[in-house]
C-alpha cells in the first residue's frame, strides 16, 4: 500500500512468481557470495581495529610513563586539556631521542673499551718482544693454562702416606756426616777469619795511603828499626834568652825583624845518648817550639848527624790549651813507635807508647839519659813496644803506691 497525493491510496499486490530449481540455486549461490564478502570485510576491519587498539595501548603506555616522570619531576605543574595532546607527542619524541642517545653512548663506550684493550695488547706484545719472560710464563704460554695448572698441582702434591720405619744404617750414615761437618767447621771458620783479617789489612793500607802523613815512607836504611820520637826543650836541652855563662852554644834567632841570642845548655850525657840511639832507631825530633828557633838550634845540636826527621809546632794538634803530638799521623806502625817527653799532655793521645822523663833545666849531676840507654836497647828488640810499656808503667805506678 502506497499513500498518494490527494489522499488516495494505491494498493499494490505482488504477482505470484514461480521458483524453479535452477533459479533457486543461483539465488542461494549469490547469497552465499554476499555473506562471504561481508564476513571477510568484517574480519579485515577487526584485524585493523586490533592493530589500532594495540598501537593505541603502546602510545598510552608511553604517555603514562612520560606523564608520570614529568609529574614526579614537577608535581605542582598541571596541563590543560588543549595542551595534553601536544605535550604527549613531545614527551614521546623526547623518550625516543633519549633511548637513541643511550644506545649511541653505549656504542661509543664499547668502541672505546675495545680500542683500549687493543692498545694494551699491542703494548704487551711490544714488551714481550723486548723484555724476556720468566721460564714459567713461557712454559705456560706454550702448553696452555689447563695443562700448566695440572702440572703445577702434580708438583705440589704432598705425600701423606704413613711414616716408614727408620733404617738404622741410614741413621749411622747421618751421624757420620754430622761428625765430618763438625770437624770441617773450625777449618772453615779459620779460613773465614783469615779472609776477614786480610780485608781489614787491605782497608787499613788503603786508608793509610790516602792520609797525609807527617813523615816520608820508611827508607831502606831504616828497615827493621823502630821509631824513637824525642822532645827537645827540657828533655834534651834547655834554652834561655838570658845570658848564661856556661852555655854549650849560642844561636841567633830572628824575631820580628830583630836578632836575639839564644843560650843553649845540653843535658848531661845527651851526646852519647844520641849516638847510641842513632845506631838502633829511626830518630825523630818532635817539638812544640817554632821552626825558626828550633831548626838552627838542631843544626848545632846534632853532632853525630843521627836526627832523620824534624817536626815543629806546625805538626802538633792543639787541644785544651796544649800542643798534642799525634803519633798516629807519623805514618809508622804504632807497635814500633816510642816517645820520650817531659810533658805528659804531649803524648796524651798515646800514653802506652811513652817513656816519661823528668824536666831538666841546668842540673849537671843528672844521669837520666844515660840510665835509659840499656832499657831502650832492650826495647828495640821487642815485637810490640805498647805491651811492654803498658806493663812497665803499671809496675811503676804500683811502686809509687807502695812508697806512699
Instruction: Give the up-direction half-sphere exposure of residue 161: CA atoms within 13 A in the CB hemisphere.
Output: 3
**Is 5 noted as a catalytic residue in this protein?**
no
Contact 38, 59 (CB under 8 A): no
DSSP 127-187: HHHHSPPPHHHHHHHHH-HHHHHHHHHHHH----PPPPPPPHHHHHHHHHHHHHHHHHHHH
Contact in structure between 354 and 342 (CB atoms under 8 Å): no
Q: Is 237 helix (H, G, I), strand (E, B) or coil?
A: strand
- Respond yes or no: is residue 182 known to be catalytic: no
**SS3 (DSSP) at 52:** helix
Rounded to an integer, what distance in angstroms lies between the CA atom of residue 257 and that of residue 332? 38
Q: Which of 397, 380, 288, 396 is nearest to 338 (CA)?
A: 380
- CA 79 – CA 58 distance, rounded (Å): 21
Distances in Å between the alpha carbon of 364 and those of 169, 306, 361, 368?
A: 89, 24, 9, 11
First to last CA, the chain: 183
From 5, 233, 295, 396, the catalytic residue: 233
The pairing of strands 2-3 and 9-10 is antiparallel
- Exposure string over 136-156, b if 16+ CB within 10 A, otherwise e: eeeebeeeeeeebeeeeeeee
Candidate list 231, 271, 299, 395, residue with the active-site label = 231
| Euclidean distance between CA atoms 251 and 27, whole angstroms | 176
> What positions carry a catalytic annotation?
231, 233
Amino acid at each position: 500500500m502506497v499513500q498518494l497525493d490527494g489522499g488516495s491510496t494505491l494498493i499494490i499486490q505482488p504477482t505470484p512468481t514461480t521458483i524453479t530449481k535452477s533459479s533457486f540455486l543461483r539465488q542461494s549461490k549469490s547469497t552465499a557470495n554476499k555473506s562471504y564478502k561481508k564476513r571477510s570485510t568484517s574480519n579485515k576491519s577487526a584485524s585493523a581495529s586490533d592493530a589500532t587498539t594495540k598501537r593505541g595501548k603502546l602510545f598510552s603506555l608511553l604517555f603514562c610513563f612520560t606523564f608520570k616522570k614529568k609529574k614526579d619531576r614537577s608535581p605542582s605543574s598541571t596541563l590543560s586539556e588543549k595542551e595534553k595532546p601536544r605535550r604527549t607527542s613531545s614527551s614521546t619524541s623526547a623518550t625516543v631521542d633519549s633511548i637513541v642517545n643511550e644506545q649511541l653512548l653505549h656504542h661509543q663506550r664499547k668502541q672505546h673499551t675495545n680500542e683500549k684493550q687493543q692498545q694494551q695488547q699491542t703494548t704487551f706484545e711490544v714488551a714481550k718482544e723486548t723484555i724476556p719472560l720468566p721460564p714459567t710464563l713461557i712454559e705456560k704460554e706454550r702448553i696452555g693454562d689447563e695443562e700448566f695448572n695440572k702440572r703445577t698441582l702434580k708438583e705440589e702434591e704432598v705425600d701423606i702416606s704413613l711414616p716408614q720405619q727408620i733404617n738404622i744404617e741410614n741413621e749411622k750414615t747421618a751421624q757420620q756426616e754430622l761428625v765430618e761437618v763438625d770437624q770441617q767447621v773450625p777449618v772453615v771458620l779459620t779460613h773465614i777469619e783469615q779472609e776477614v783479617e786480610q780485608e781489614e789489612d787491605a782497608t787499613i793500607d788503603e786508608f793509610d795511603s790516602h792520609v797525609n802523613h807527617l813523615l816520608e815512607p820508611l827508607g831502606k836504611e831504616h828497615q827493621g828499626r823502630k821509631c824513637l820520637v824525642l822532645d827537645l826543650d827540657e828533655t834534651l836541652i834547655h834554652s834561655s834568652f838570658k845570658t848564661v855563662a856556661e852555655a854549650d852554644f849560642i844561636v841567633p834567632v830572628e824575631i820580628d825583624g830583630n836578632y836575639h841570642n839564644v843560650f843553649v845548655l845540653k843535658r848531661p850525657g845527651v851526646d852519647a845518648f844520641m849516638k847510641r840511639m842513632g845506631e838502633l832507631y829511626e830518630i825523630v825530633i818532635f817539638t812544640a817550639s817554632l821552626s825558626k828557633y828550633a831548626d838552627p838550634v838542631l843544626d848545632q845540636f846534632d853532632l853525630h848527624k843521627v836526627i832523620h826527621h824534624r817536626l815543629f809546632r806546625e805538626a802538633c794538634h792543639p787541644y785544651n790549651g796544649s800542643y798534642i803530638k799525634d803519633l798516629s799521623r807519623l805514618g809508622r806502625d804504632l807497635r814500633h813507635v816510642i816517645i820520650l817527653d817531659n810533658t805528659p799532655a804531649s803524648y796524651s793521645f798515646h800514653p802506652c807508647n811513652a817513656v816519661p822523663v823528668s824536666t831538666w833545666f841546668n842540673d849537671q849531676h843528672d844521669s837520666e839519659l844515660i840510665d835509659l840507654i840499656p832499657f831502650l836497647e832492650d826495647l828495640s828488640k821487642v815485637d810490640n813496644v805498647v805491651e811492654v810499656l803498658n806493663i812497665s808503667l803499671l809496675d811503676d805506678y804500683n811502686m809509687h803506691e807502695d812508697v806512699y
